[in-house]
Amino acid sequence: MVDSSHQSLGRASRIRSPQTDFLCLSMLLAALLTLTAAHILATPFWALGGFVVGAGLAGWGLRQSFEHGVLGFCNVVTLVRMALAALLFGMLFETESVPSWLVFSIAVAALALDGVDGFLARRSGLTSDFGARFDMETDAILGAVLATWLLFSGEVGPAILVLGYMRYVFMLFKLVVPTLRAPLPPSLRRKTICVVQIGALIFVTVPGNPGFLDGPVSLVASALLLYSFCVDALWLLRRDA
């Protein structure tokens, strides 16, 4: 009887894995995202497609490098943030019909959850390279989507793309400069400037904000972001010298 109970628990633990939980949660969020996007957008499939691609890549990373036995609420929060970014991605194709206050509200919700996942990971002892990368890539996607929405909506000029795409420019440099592919140590400076980056993008989306401040705010945030990437690049180059 005892052996049978232990066997049942063992089978349950094998079935209930972080990968299984991630898949089930992704399917639930995909359904909720589709229902939400259908009420907001004429074509909800762009939002759903963006989420499926993002969640698929994250699920592959989870399978390859996640070392814990449970998924944890930290990664749940990051996945929710990815769903919000996917909803904003869907709005890129309907900029004329989507009100700026809605974009602003969703972006604020995504930013408010930034840092919660890291706090939960540290508190539960579930910190991981996967979780840090998942959080970073979600931030990058959110920044790129917000910058693109601002450009498409005519709120600002192409210079805003610096705030949204510096991460991807750095990744392109990694393809031609192998030294830049080495891992970077954790950095409070990097995390703080990332928050400034997203905060600046959200500020520009604020309905009725003083338009004359958009340029200076974007310029300062872009300068800080460029500085941060230069510091990281120089550290990697000197480390290999």
pLDDT at 22: 97
pLDDT under 70 in the chain at which residues?
1-15, 241
Distance of CA 163 to the CA centre of its chain: 14
Give pLDDT, residue 15: 56
Element (H, E) at 226: helix 214-240
The torsion angles phi and psi of 186, rounded to 5 degrees, stand at -55, 145
Q: Quote the DSSP letter at residue 183.
A: P
Closest CA to 131 of 142, 117, 119: 117
Q: What pLDDT shows up at residue 186? A: 84
Range list of β-strands (E), the chain: none
**Model confidence over 28-43: pLDDT tens digits?**
999 999 999 999 999 9
Domains plus CATH for the chain? 17-240 (1.20.120.1760)
Helix (H, G, I), strand (E, B) or coil at 44: coil
Residue 9 burial class via C-beta count within 10 angstroms: exposed 0-12, middle 13-18, buried 19 and up: exposed
Q: Answer for the pair 160, 151: CB distance below 8 angstroms, yes or no.
A: yes
In this structure, are residues 110 and 84 in contact, taking their beta carbons and an 8 Å threshold? yes
- Percentage of the chain exceeding pLDDT 70: 93
* Dist CA 234 CA 239 (whole Å): 8
- Report how far residue 200's alpha carbon sits from residue 140's, in angstroms, rounded to the nearest whole number: 14
In angstroms, the CA 48 to CA 33 distance is 7
The pLDDT of residue 159 is: 87
The label of the residue with tokens 């980056």 reads 197
